[in-house]
Structure 1
Amino acid sequence: MIGIVIFILSLKPSYSGEKELDTIKKEVSVYYDSYGIPHIYGASEEDAFRTLGYVHAQDRLWQMELLRRIGPGRLSEVFGKDMITTDKFLISLGIDEASEKTVAHLDMNDESIRLTNAYLEGVNAFIKDGPTPVEFYLTGIDKTPFVLKDVYNTIGYMAFSFAMAHKTDPLLTSIKEKLGPQYLKDLEIEVDPSLTLISNYPKGKQALKNTVSEIALQALEKLPVPMFEGSNSWVLSPEKTKNGHVIFANDPHIGFSQPSVWFEAHVSTPTYEKYGYHLAGVPFPLLGHDRNLAYGLTMFENDDIDFYYEEVHPSDKRKYKYKEEWKSFESITKTIKVKDADAIQFTYEKSIHGPILNGIADQIVGDKPVAMSWTYTKTDNKTLKAYNGIVHANGLRDFKKSLADINAPGLNIMYGDAKGNVAWFATAKLYLMPDSVNTKFILDGSTGLQEPLRYLEFKENPQAINPPWNYVYSANNQPDSILGKIYPGYYLPENRAKRITQLIDAKNDWSKDDVAKMITDVTSSVDPAIVNNLIEELNSKELSKKQLEVIEKLKHWKGDATLESVESTIYHRWVYFFIKNTFGDELSEAQFTSFLGTHFFKRTIAPMAEIKESVWWDDITTAEMETKSVIVNRSFQQAYAALEQSLGVDIQEWTWNKVHTIEHPHPIGQVEALRKYFNVGPYEINGTREVINNLSFAYTEDGLYKVSSGPSTRRIIDFSDVENSISILPTGQSGNMLSNHYQDQAKMYVNGEFRKMMMNKEAIKSSAESVLLFKPLED
């Protein structure tokens, strides 16, 4: 027993002592603060990045391992046959082939590649000499060195994680083909330009200096890592702040997991300093700041995936039609290794547009092959070069210049600096389609008439630099027009954007504390209007006294989703039944589930609650012709009965904390006996869908709202006091369950608290919890 304890303790990360690395040239000091964040001080950038790789790996190697396996479809090796369909889908995306092609053409002397290789040397040094994380023992897989292609495969996973077309386009096409175009009229396929849009201001002012969707859903929901979902960010100009300096706020919304997505690290050398947030296996921080500037991101939600029906030759199934010519499908065969089972051969086909998705699962049948065209695999991947430029930028001009190299995923890059500049840039390889083409449906691949006309130059992308309204923001909502057109995408509803702009516009003396309060705001500017529109349809004569009390409470509701809110619980239950009774009869169970996972579903709730007439109101399973009033009344009665059954007859007990909880799942935590050791939570938590503190969940029949995604960090940088900028992680810095920093921020996060992002070297040294020294290997 003593031996087992000693062995387990040997697997903990080392936060103190000395280590020799044969690749570093001069000693590097790592000071760990009280939350386990490393502050790395080196004489050169290469040595600092090697050290970053080592300390990142010792806290997050298991996470790195999973992320690098997604692109090439190698999850079945770890988790067995249940992941085969997921691996098939991931393989067909072509991420691994794109990464291989990119690496083959890299300039190894480029600074971005030299620093990436230095980082990988550090990762591999830990793999060689460091303790093996317990997950490797539990799954039986071996540690193997990381290579450049692994970094690009991780970036590829991130790029696809942002996409929404695979959930949306085939579903809309199925509705159009099976139900008819009249059923599309009331769906929020396009965004109403009268809603809250992100305004462009590119010049700046003078600065102060079909089944496919179902299969995609089924495949991706099994991923043992989080998907990227949405995000908020706003940057306030000096004119909007109390202290006359820029205040920067950002909280990317990502699926919750354990470990959480970001690894924090502060790296400082004579030529470089950045306090950054790193994706596992990627050397450059995707979020970061220093004393001169800060940057962050939200998801652009632009349309960078198109689907095409391919026309197959009537007598030769190996050929398809393109521009009046018959071309041969490319056939690709891959081997999928499966844990505790024989390897399987997997063959799929590709057209000029991309992989044929019909081959990824037995459930996809039919005579029409569907090909997927994805910008990420069709354009040069310069992401590492772009982020190397971003982290080394000295000001707005350098920063903007680097953004042109980000092709996919589409990102809103947010910027603020100590000179008073604020900016927002939509970064993506956008393209124009013929006016008659709607990319929200599966296109005709045979004619060549539904292809992109041209890619836009970066300067044509939506952006705003020092606008006269004195702030920039993004909440994944629709940007204003580009070249006179609203660019197609899968944007989220205006709810968060409306609340953000209402709050910012209301005052000009913002402080860091004000912004901290705002970033945890749980009030919706839209939900009360939805409730009131539904209430208008109720027949009060059919309501009991207690039900009338419920309605009276809802009439006075301000849209807040606090732990004590009864109204929030009633609202979501009512909306669920309203949506189910509206759409559930026309859609199959699988299609309805797919529908609930789309962004346009979220945009549909408010307008459906407002309009009076719709083809969707009629329940096609009955002989009667239902109206909106019938659907609304039926839905309320079902919601009320369900709440009484699950929470009791006392309305005051229907509080939000009883149904809205958060738990951070670890892949090993799926085993019930290990859940309490690896998962973090559950906790009761405030917030809800599409408020600023956006804690999202799936609508399900049981009325329990298990939060699946939300702020992956909350960061606030005040350039009047950079040393006291604040942040939080959802669980903790370490992914090693034996570390004291595995979940030491979890309760703070739930409570809306923050901690300091330390940058002052003397303060860091004097308060360091431990020091780890890396020295060159002695001859």
Structure 2
Amino acid sequence: MVTAVIVVRRPLPEVSGEKELTGLDADVVVTRDDRGVPTITATTSGDLFRAQGYVAAQDRFFEMDYRRHVTSGRLSELVGENEDALAADKVIRTFGWRRVAQQEWTLLQPATRDALQAYADGVNDYLDGRDPGAVAVEYSVLGLQVEVGAPQEWDPIDSLAWLKAMAWDLRGNYDAELERAASFSSIGDVARVEELFPTYPQDLNLPILTAANLPVTTAEQAASTSAVPLDLGSADLQEAMASASAALAAVPHLMGDGEGVGSNSWVVSGALTESGKPLLANDPHLGISAPGIWEQMGLRCDEVSAACPFDVSGFAFAGMPGVVIGHNGSLAWGLTNLGADVTDFVLERVDEDTTRLDEGSAPITERTEVIKVNGGDDVELTVRESVHGPLVSDVLDLVGVGTAPVPEGAPGRTFEVALAWTALQPGRTMDAVLAINVATSAADIQAAAALFDVPSQNIVFATTDGHIGYQAPGRIPIRANVPDSPVPSDGTWPRPGWDSRYDWQGFVDAAAMPRAFDPVEGVVVTANQAVTPAGVGPFLTEDWDYGYRAQRIRELLTAATANGKVDVADMARIQNDQHSPFADVLVPVLLTLDIDDSFDDDGQELLRTWDRVQSPDSAAAAYFAAVWVDVLSSAFADDLPDGYGPNGGSRWLEVVRRLLEEPASPWWDDKTTAGVVEGRDEVLTRAMVEARRQLTAQLGRDASEWRWGRVHTAAPEHPVLGGSSLPGVIRNLVNPDPVPVGGGSSIVDATAWDASSGSFGVTAAPSMRMVVDLGDLDASTWVTLTGASGHPASVHYADQLGPWSRGETFPWPFTGAATEADARDRLTLTP
């Protein structure tokens, strides 16, 4: 036991005293508060970022190392022979994330390259002379299974490659495009498929901006959504699409994937606040992991000047200089995923080493990648690319992948599937991140946004001199409107690569991207909903979140400001709102139905007095969630292919809301009940009965004793050591105990779960919460999902998880005097 304690505690960093850090111009001071959050104070930008790299390596190097192995397609090199790791490596090598990152290096401003290099130097100074077990306990555990050598030095490209993983997980409508094609294979009717992808309900839920706030765009973009896709039901094409889907599913999601990945962010004008200055709130909804995604950090130049302009605090990514979300002394900003359509599946007609393009052909290029496997043989991978992007349909070793015949008479001999994606073109997002760190005005934000190529985000901002605003950045493809098209050209369905009319026609000019400055209503709310009214501004996508979270936030802000002026506590209460829009839609109908059996009726009785709040101690919330699962399964799962069942998010809420007005719709019929045709009332009644019986087995006979938080838990898991195959003592060390939470999918407190998974467990959640008071920056608040440290033996590994689960936040001091008063540890880094 003594040996085990020494092993797990050995990597814990020194956080006080003095340490030499080569290359510094002067002393750098690192203070840490009660939760281990560092604030770094330096005299030059180079020293600041060198120290940030050092501190990041102190706290989270294994997380950084894991991320860079993933983003460079070298996971097998870290974990050894593992099918999932090899599959991930093959796909990421096919994408060429690191190759694109290398191309970005020369595009960046010299100051950005200097920051990246200084950060890398600081990381490497920390690693110098330390054996793996002294860096992270994960290396000691992995060393029991594979050979573990000294960690490779950090390279600035490692930081840039992380941006590709960020862009991948926040890439927009890729899933919806894939789902449309897959659904068509079993439904066989485009119009019926489109009923499962309804238009945004702008009569109910407002977009972010109105027409009056928008600049005029000159881009004429696609609006064709009613055409019939070309041969999408053919078995050969479906095989190619299934292969592409399987390949892409192999990519690890470092920030989260699927239902619930999104964010809330809003800003309120000083005219509506107690302080008379703006308030800004943000809580990005991402996958849950241990350690959490964010690294809380303060970066301060001792004297802010043009030579050393940084005085910023917020949430950083371990492995990348600067702060991604937060505030400086003049401006605060928040990010939510815009969800613009920046990916297209492209169907290629292949003939040996060319693809068909109009009346001619285009070449397929090839390169060979060598994947090293720790403890195993090297794996050679041939990567092929068409003019549209990498051929993802042949990335995995699956039977029949890449050899499906095309319909008779078609030019070429096989279908392949390429992925067109804006992030596979080099860009300047790293320039944008550091530019936002020192922004002081709307003009600064607009200039930075023009560099923020991927992922496309919504930026809300507020300034200490009283302004608020919104800016949409991103590299957004312009899609031509193809007349009389047999396939939609708006990016909602896979497109034919042999017809250049469907190719992207360039990108939306940054000056034409939606923005607003000091809107009259005094509020900007972004929660992944539509950005503008339909037909206004540049075409961004057809696939939005359906706006129920955004509308609830608007309603709560309207109510709060009608009764007075709002403060930081009001913003935090809104972030933790657990009211269910699903219940608003469905419960009134459920209560009109008769359940004869008094036992089966117990669940329905809970709904009669329910406040429709999905709090962790609510019995009705648990019952309603079980009803929702059964409704979706009965009405839709029987119509959809395996792996594409309803996940229960905002899209499915909108589908069901519309179908409630059609009680005899064929969608209600459960095809698994032979000889019986169900309507709405039969399905809803049966769902209530089944939910009562399911929860009886799961939570007990007394319905009043059920609790949503008993089945709806957040369980952050280590990305490498989270598996059940590990000894229990290791699993318990690296994986925090699950915590009960309230909220749910498409609720403001967005603790999402997948209704098709058979579990109510949280799949994505607010990865952090922050509220910034522009009238008194020291009055701001923050919390992160787990804790400041990436070391499982640290007291700060998961010390914020419990408070986070209860909706609590911590003071967030910013000024020099406040951070000094809050300091508990002090480390001086000397030249």
The TM-score bracket by the shorter chain reads over 0.9
Q: Distance in 2 between matches of 1:412 and 1:214?
A: 28
1:401/1:354 CA distance change after superposition, 3 Å:
same
What residue in structure 1 maps to residue 486 of structure 2?
A: none
Are positions 1:158 and 2:156 aligned together?
A: no
Q: Distance in 2 between matches of 1:7 and 1:547?
A: 54
Are positions 1:401 and 2:447 aligned together?
A: yes
What residue in structure 2 maps to residue 100 of structure 1?
A: 102
1:40/1:496 CA distance change after superposition, 3 Å:
same
Stretch deviating more after TM superposition (147-156 or 762-771):
762-771
What residue in structure 2 maps to residue 135 of structure 1?
A: 138
What residue in structure 1 maps to residue 485 of structure 2?
A: none
Q: Distance in 1 between matches of 2:735 and 2:82?
A: 23
Are positions 1:167 and 2:167 aligned together?
A: no
Equivalent AA in structure 1 for residue 296 of structure 2: E
Are positions 1:460 and 2:495 aligned together?
A: no
1:469/1:224 CA distance change after superposition, 3 Å:
closer
Cα deviation per residue 1:347-401 (whole Å; 9 max; x = unaligned)? 23211111112112216643321111001113x4101111121112232222221
Whether the 8 Å CA contact 2:266–2:523 is kept in 1: the answer is: yes
Whether the 8 Å CA contact 2:791–2:797 is kept in 1: the answer is: yes
1:129/1:196 CA distance change after superposition, 3 Å:
farther
What residue in structure 1 maps to residue 225 of structure 2?
A: none
What residue in structure 1 maps to residue 262 of structure 2?
A: 230
Q: Distance in 2 between matches of 1:504 and 1:651?
A: 35
Q: Tell me, what secondary structure is at the counterpart of 1:453? A: strand
Q: Tell me, what secondary structure is at the counterpart of 1:596? A: coil
Are positions 1:733 and 2:816 aligned together?
A: no
How far did 1:535 drift? 4.5
Q: Distance in 2 between matches of 1:199 and 1:132?
A: 45
Are positions 1:72 and 2:76 aligned together?
A: no
Stretch deviating more after TM superposition (446-455 or 196-205):
196-205
Are positions 1:280 and 2:318 aligned together?
A: yes
What residue in structure 1 maps to residue 227 of structure 2?
A: none
User: Taking structure 2 as the reference length, what is the TM-score of the superposition?
Assistant: 0.87
Are positions 1:182 and 2:191 aligned together?
A: yes
Q: Distance in 2 between matches of 1:236 and 1:81?
A: 49
Whether the 8 Å CA contact 1:168–1:213 is kept in 2: the answer is: no
Cα deviation per residue 1:497-519 (whole Å; 9 max; x = unaligned)? 11101011123210111111111
Q: Distance in 2 between matches of 1:200 and 1:6?
A: 56
What residue in structure 1 maps to residue 438 of structure 2?
A: 392
Identity %: 25
Q: Distance in 1 between matches of 2:648 and 2:337?
A: 17
What residue in structure 1 maps to residue 242 of structure 2?
A: 211
Whether the 8 Å CA contact 2:336–2:528 is kept in 1: the answer is: yes
How far did 1:164 drift? 4.3
1:336/1:430 CA distance change after superposition, 3 Å:
same
Stretch deviating more after TM superposition (113-122 or 450-459):
450-459
Map 1:645-664; keep pairs closer than 5 Å: 645-664=697-716
Map 1:198-277; keep pairs closer than 5 Å: 198-200=207-209, 210-212=241-243, 214-215=245-246, 218-220=249-251, 223=253, 226-227=256-257, 229-269=261-301, 270-271=303-304, 272-277=310-315
Q: Distance in 2 between matches of 1:163 and 1:491?
A: 12
1:363/1:741 CA distance change after superposition, 3 Å:
farther
Stretch deviating more after TM superposition (658-667 or 122-131):
122-131
What residue in structure 1 maps to residue 230 of structure 2?
A: none
1:144/1:617 CA distance change after superposition, 3 Å:
same
Map 1:692-711; keep pairs closer than 5 Å: 692-700=748-756, 702=758, 704-711=759-766
Match of 1:335 among 362, 370, 373: 370
Equivalent AA in structure 2 for residue 193 of structure 1: Q
What residue in structure 2 maps to residue 84 of structure 1?
A: 86
Cα deviation per residue 1:640-685 (whole Å; 9 max; x = unaligned)? 2212222222111222122111111113132252211011121112
Equivalent AA in structure 2 for residue 342 of structure 1: D
Cα deviation per residue 1:544-584 (whole Å; 9 max; x = unaligned)? 12433432432443320112211211111111111111222
Q: Distance in 2 between matches of 1:686 and 1:323?
A: 54
How far did 1:124 drift? 1.1
What residue in structure 1 maps to residue 573 of structure 2?
A: 517
Q: Distance in 1 between matches of 2:282 and 2:247?
A: 30
Match of 1:548 among 596, 601, 626: 601
Q: Tell me, what secondary structure is at the counterpart of 1:12? A: coil
1:618/1:359 CA distance change after superposition, 3 Å:
same
Match of 1:561 among 606, 614, 617: 614
Q: Distance in 1 between matches of 2:822 and 2:4?
A: 34
How far did 1:223 drift? 4.8
What residue in structure 2 maps to residue 527 of structure 1?
A: 583
User: Taking structure 1 as the reference length, what is the TM-score of the superposition?
Assistant: 0.93
Q: Distance in 1 between matches of 2:757 and 2:110?
A: 54
Q: Tell me, what secondary structure is at the counterpart of 2:446? A: helix
How far did 1:61 drift? 0.5
Equivalent AA in structure 2 for residue 87 of structure 1: D
Equivalent AA in structure 2 for residue 184 of structure 1: V
Match of 1:494 among 532, 547, 550: 547
The unaligned stretches of length 5 or more in structure 2 are: 215-240, 305-309, 406-414, 483-488
Q: Distance in 1 between matches of 2:256 and 2:208?
A: 30
Q: Tell me, what secondary structure is at the counterpart of 2:715? A: strand
Q: Distance in 2 between matches of 1:603 and 1:121?
A: 51
Aligned length: 759
Map 1:5-20; keep pairs closer than 5 Å: 5-6=5-6, 8-20=8-20
What residue in structure 2 maps to residue 772 of structure 1?
A: 827
Cα deviation per residue 1:153-183 (whole Å; 9 max; x = unaligned)? 1001100011244422122113235422232
What residue in structure 1 maps to residue 416 of structure 2?
A: 369
How far did 1:145 drift? 1.0
Q: Distance in 2 between matches of 1:500 and 1:568?
A: 20
Q: Tell me, what secondary structure is at the counterpart of 2:511? A: helix
1:225/1:135 CA distance change after superposition, 3 Å:
farther
Match of 2:204 among 183, 188, 195: 195
Whether the 8 Å CA contact 1:431–1:454 is kept in 2: the answer is: yes
Cα deviation per residue 1:238-258 (whole Å; 9 max; x = unaligned)? 111122110111011111111
Cα RMSD between the aligned structures? 2.4
